[in-house]
Structure 1
Amino acid sequence: MFRPLRSALVVSAALAVAACGGGQKRPEADLAASRVTTIGVNSYLWRASLDTLSFMPLLQTDSNGGVIVTDWYVNPQTPTERMKVTVTILDQDLRADAVRVAALREVNRGGQWVSSPVAAATTQKLEDVILTRARDLRRASSAVN
């Protein structure tokens, strides 16, 4: 149900960024600027976050506030465990400290979902994947133009 909304947001963001070109040709450095804010937050971090979490059902997205909240996701390989992730984009610049990931984990014990700790490495890995994807999107944007 939320995937069409997410796709629409991504397409809208891409169109908004593309529409900023105007009639003049700008220097290449400006085309892939690390600060792209037509949707309220850095568009590379936003798109990278959506791409990274695309396998999880989305519960809420706010491109102006920079928040993405997933619904509970159960990995088919571990059906007794589920995760919920919140990504917050904290800055309009493409910087390592501009994205924060928080995760909740629950395990099924006797038919009840019980809170369980999330390894710090899990959220750090998600942040790294998002940042790497955002940098790749930025490079691809400058290579096209």
Structure 2
Amino acid sequence: MNMRDFLRASAICGLVLAVSGCGGISSGNLFGDNTGPDAQVAPQVEEGRDKTDTIWELFGNADDPNVTVEVNKYLWQASLEVLNFLPIQSVDPFSGVIVTGYGTPPGGGRAYKATVYVTDPALDARSLKVSLESRGGVVSAETVRAVEDAILTRARQIRIRDANL
């Protein structure tokens, strides 16, 4: 075998490897039929879900829509207690959202509407998102911060009370 034949054979092998690595061949052999040694291999199954471990799973939404978001019970309860003067329009403890209608706080003259979103099971300020609006428009950031602080303080009080039981 001379050098020219060796280079030709190397080029053909490289081309075959490049084409076989392009994908679309599920059984691992060059022609894509199911007669190779791994034709009988079944995908791993974990809790009823096909576990294929491909790169495309990184870009897809593989989350189970029946799985709920966990919310912190202390933040949830504190939100309901602190905002008890507001009429509740909708409550979804599975997604962590509380939506209220307009109501006036005790001793106040301005009506507010709130949306509370508890995003995490941790008792943490990052787990709580509060949005307030009034009939007159935008509510100041200081007012929103004061409501968030009141909810967090009440949540800590409830947790301490439960720990003493």
TM bracket, shorter-chain basis:
0.5 to 0.7
Provide Cα deviations, 1:78-103, integer angstroms capped at 9, x if missing partner. 2xx42110010011111111101001
Q: Which amino acid aligns with 2:124?
A: R
Greater RCO, CA 8 A, separation 6+ = 1
Shift of 1:77: 4.8
Matching residue of 2:98: 68
Matching residue of 2:126: 97
1:82 aligns with 2:82: no
Instruction: Tell me the SS of whatever aligns to 1:124.
Output: helix
- Between the aligned partners of 2:153 and 2:102, the Cα distance in structure 1 is 25
Matching residue of 1:44: 74
Question: Looking at CA atoms only, which structure, 1 or 2, has the larger radius of gyration?
Answer: 2
- Between the aligned partners of 1:128 and 1:74, the Cα distance in structure 2 is 19
Which of structure 1's runs of 4+ aligned residues deviate more than 3 A? 74-77
| Aligned positions, number | 97
Moved more, 68-77 or 56-65: 68-77
Which of 144, 147, 158 pairs up with 1:126? 147
Q: Which amino acid aligns with 1:138?
A: R
- RMSD of aligned Cα (Å): 2.0
2:70 and 2:120 in contact (8 A); partners too: no
Uncovered stretches (5+) of structure 1, i.e. residues with no partner: 1-38, 108-115
- Between the aligned partners of 1:50 and 1:99, the Cα distance in structure 2 is 13
Normalising by structure 2, we get a TM-score of 0.54
- Between the aligned partners of 1:135 and 1:77, the Cα distance in structure 2 is 26
Normalising by structure 1, we get a TM-score of 0.61
Uncovered stretches (5+) of structure 2, i.e. residues with no partner: 1-68
1:55 aligns with 2:85: yes
